[in-house]
Amino acid sequence: MWYFMLNSGVHATITGVMLAFAIPFGDGDNKSTSYILQHFLHKPVAFFILPVFAMANTAIFLSGDISQIITENYSLGIGLGLMLGKPIGILLLTYLAVGLGFCKLPNDLQWKSIFGVGLLGGIGFTMSIFVTILAFDNEAIINNSKLVILMSSMVAGLLGFVTLRLTLKPTVDLE
């Protein structure tokens, strides 16, 4: 389906969305076609297809001095936005929502954990690359920005993981 739709001029992503709408949902229980398909495809998609897709669409060409690339103004903006801006924004908006009474944090949840989730929000890989392609005309800047996005997303993800690992209580797996 993707092959034919792509060759007809329709982007493969739209084809995937159309295919998803065509899968029978039924009543959503564990015997429905969509549930069975989702559980069958979860691991191959999460651990193989999605990473390969992301890396193939990134097309990062390594050239030049990385220390020079990461000190460019646009690189600093990208890095600081993903590694500091997103976590601070998520933390402040959550604090504001709790302060205004829109929601309430569970008793066993700490604000450090909310910051850890904010750090995970810094994994802005796909949309950041999309915005980069729209924002810049220079191929070298686009390529360098993709590299900085990848590096910043990895650092944000690792920091988020470590923060959550240190702040959240371990849970007992009942399965």
Tens digit of pLDDT at every position of the chain (175 positions)? 667 877 888 777 787 788 778 888 778 788 888 888 888 988 998 888 877 777 776 777 777 788 888 889 999 999 999 999 999 999 999 999 999 999 999 888 889 999 999 999 999 777 888 888 889 999 889 889 988 998 999 999 999 999 999 998 777 665 5
Q: Is 98 buried (19+), middle (13-18) or exposed (0-12) by CB count in 10 A?
A: middle
Q: Is the pTM of this model over 0.75?
A: no
CB 95 within 8 A of CB 169: no
The helix (H) or strand (E) run that includes residue 65 is none
Give the residue among 97, 65, 85, 94 at the shortest CA–CA distance from 152: 85
For residue 81, what pLDDT is reported? Answer: 93
CB 118 within 8 A of CB 92: no
For residue 60, what pLDDT is reported? Answer: 75
Give the residue among 123, 109, 108, 130 at the shortest CA–CA distance from 160: 123
In whole angstroms, give the CA distance from residue 143 to residue 151. Answer: 13
Residue 137, classed as helix, strand or coil, is coil
